[in-house]
Amino acid sequence: MLHANKLFVVLLLTGLLTACKKEVDPVIVIPPSSGSQVELSGLAGSETGANAANAVWVDLSADKPTSVARAAWDLGFYSGGDFRVIINNTTAAAAKVLGKNDLAQVGTADTVGVTLAFSQAAPSAAEFGLIDDVSGDLSKTLIPAVSSTEADNKVIILNRGIGGGVAARAWKKLRILRAGSGYTLQYANITDAAYKTVSISKDAAYNFRFVSLDEGAVVNVEPRKDSWDLVWTYSMYKTAFGAGDVPYAFSDLVFINKLAGVQAAEVLTSTVSYDSFAWTNLTGLSFSSDRDVIGSKWRATTGTVGVKTDRFYVLKDAAGNVYKLKFLSFTSQDGGTRGKPVIRYELVKK
């Protein structure tokens, strides 16, 4: 009888353990948002809307906007296979690569005659040579790919930018080296002989890891690459002037997350209305992975000022979700507030 009781206890415990194990197995899958209407908080304080201090990233499938000060970072270190570093186009930062590879040998004499600023009144195409490629092509960053040969990595002079009302800050000198699979940043004020260092590890969950020279550390800026689809911001971009395009800084630019596989297409309402657009309308639609497929084409600041009501956009995220999106307002002329654009989006269902 004793052995039977023991057997009963063993079987009972085994059953309980098996039942407990089954309770933790299920994985809860959160479906993508069916859509929403969202105001993007570009204003950080009392600044004008055209100089909105924040950039706002938006994750459509999670109904999540994320506002971060444009001036919160200075350099972005690519987490992909290449070793690329971007400067901050959203503050109109500008830089020059020197021929020297020793920070201690760089001083004020190296800044004589160097202009790291942009003219809004008389812009020149030559000023494209002071910034990263405005289309986001990482093969065309101003800072060359960081070489595994240390001597090849030259000193860079950086003007951190005053675009969109950012306060002027002292120029910096910096040098970037590889450190295993990551980076080492060396930086100092122009007149300093000694320099500080920051170590940056690549993180495959992000497009870039960002560094603030004020903080002297890695800081959180862009959300995880699978957690945003588009960003609204002030930035260096381009405009037609004279014989062709020139670099020009302005607000209300919208860029898609091309590095994470987001694509978008513009749809004119003369073809199909926003409300009527359905899954069947995707046939023949030409999606683009260009970062600036939306750009500034969604609004007008001259003539009939306001959101352009003759168009909307269709975005396909990295998970395959498809959203139709339109801008509702962005300025007082269309019933909105400059610096706080309002968007509406809906999941396009099969």
Query: Is residue 242 assigned to a domain?
Result: yes
Side chain identity at residue 92, one-letter code: A
Distance in angstroms (rounded) separating the CA atoms of residues 31 and 39: 22
Per-residue pLDDT tens for 112-140?
999 999 988 899 999 999 999 999 999 99
Distance in angstroms (rounded) separating the CA atoms of residues 228 and 291: 13
Host domain of residue 253: 35-68+225-347
312 and 336 fall within a common domain: yes
Cβ count within 10 A of residue 119: 12
Cβ count within 10 A of residue 295: 18
285 and 323 fall within a common domain: yes
* Number of structural domains found in the chain: 2
240 and 341 fall within a common domain: yes
Query: Is residue 28 assigned to a domain?
Result: no
Q: Specify the pTM.
A: 0.91
The confidence band for 1, taking pLDDT boundaries of 50, 70 and 90, is very low
248 and 169 fall within a common domain: no
51 and 106 fall within a common domain: no
Look at residues 190, 219, 248 and tell me which one is the last residue of a structural domain.
Answer: 219
145 and 213 fall within a common domain: yes
Per-residue pLDDT tens for 168-192?
999 999 999 999 999 999 999 999 9
Query: Is residue 63 assigned to a domain?
Result: yes
Look at residues 219, 242, 269 and tell me which one is the last residue of a structural domain.
Answer: 219
pLDDT surpasses 60 at 225: yes
Query: Is residue 275 assigned to a domain?
Result: yes
- Kindly list the distances between the CA atom of residue 200 and the CA atoms of 10, 130, 132, 140, in Å, as whole numbers in the listed order: 53, 24, 20, 21
